[in-house]
Amino acid sequence: MTLGQQRFAAINAPLSKKLEEKKHLIAVHRGSWGGNIIQNTIAAYTCAFKMGADMVESDVNSTTDGVLYSFHDGHEPTLLGVDKCIKQMSSAEVEANHPFNTTCQRNRKPIDRLSDILEWLPEGKFLNIDRSWDIFPQVLAELDRHPKALQQVVLKAPVRGDFHGVPVEEALKALAAHPVKYMFMPICYSLQDVEAALAITDINTVGCEIIAFKETDELYSDDAINSIRARNLYTWVNAIELGNWNRDSLFGPLDDDISILEDPALGWGKLFEKHIDILQTDWPAILYAYRREALGIE
């Protein structure tokens, strides 16, 4: 599959090639973390790649003085020990509060800046940037300082609503107007969302994150999935189970929990059968082993 519009084929070629080779890519939610390895850090991403990941995910936020960090806002009390949103903190405050590891001890290092992650990102591996659409102009400016980001970074955003008071339309306008055409993945809850994303032809859309809380939702159907893939777009599904007791999983019953606790054929295997191209997981080593066993793909 050659991803996206033909005029962007050279930009998208490495990801297109990786999908052609492996059929189903493994993306890892915030990297692989535990012990003294902190989520959303180079250490966590290193672990994920060693466990077989093809791509890792980073949540990106900006401080009051304009420094971009890989950090999921809302986790400041548990990770940094402060009751204050990172968006209202200075970089000095962030770096003075080293993150807690899983034994509730402070790590020796502060959380990582996006600039350091982009400088480090290994050749042949990919980074998905999440939760940054309220600051797209700032993120795009940082990507411009790292030439390899053009072929290794995928930005993500919904196509409707707002985020931290910034309408999504403003983020998409900024992305469309930017002269460097970084890869983009819209978060889609319907085929209407897919069409809305594709209507903005100055954005280099390469795939769709598809959300289907229930098996009866539109994007759960094979017909919907096939129609997206027929547009030269990959499909991305979140197999991660976030554990919210009052919310459904992100793609029906096909998640990490059923794959690990019961049988991988009941979760990840069915995602393979439905031609999902990229599976986001919290358990890359187990998914990698199952992909190798079921499909013979290293």
Crossing angle between the packed helical segments 191-198 and 222-229, to the nearest 10 degrees = 10
The reported pLDDT for the residue numbered 246 is 58
The reported pLDDT for the residue numbered 247 is 66
The reported pLDDT for the residue numbered 163 is 78
Please state the pTM of the whole predicted model: 0.97
Q: Kindly report, residue by residue over 83-104, the tens digit of the pLDDT.
A: 999 999 999 999 999 999 999 9
- Residue ranges, the chain, pLDDT below 70: 245-247
Sorted by sequence, the CB contacts under 8 Å of residue 213 that are 6+ apart come out as 247, 248, 249, 250, 252
- Interatomic CA distance for residues 101 and 108, integer angstroms: 10
The reported pLDDT for the residue numbered 185 is 98
Q: Kindly report, residue by residue over 141-188, the tens digit of the pLDDT.
A: 999 999 999 999 999 999 998 877 889 999 999 999 999 999 999 999
- In this structure, the chain runs to a length of 298
Sorted by sequence, the CB contacts under 8 Å of residue 72 that are 6+ apart come out as 30, 39, 40, 59, 61, 131
- Interatomic CA distance for residues 152 and 121, integer angstroms: 8
How many CA atoms, within 13 angstroms, populate the side-chain half-sphere of residue 16? 18
Structural domains of the chain sorted by starting position, each given as residue range(s) with its CATH number in brackets: 6-73+112-295 (3.20.20.190)
The reported pLDDT for the residue numbered 205 is 98
- Interatomic CA distance for residues 251 and 2, integer angstroms: 25
- Interatomic CA distance for residues 52 and 24, integer angstroms: 12
Instruction: State the pairing for strand pair 183-188/204-205.
Output: parallel
The reported pLDDT for the residue numbered 30 is 98
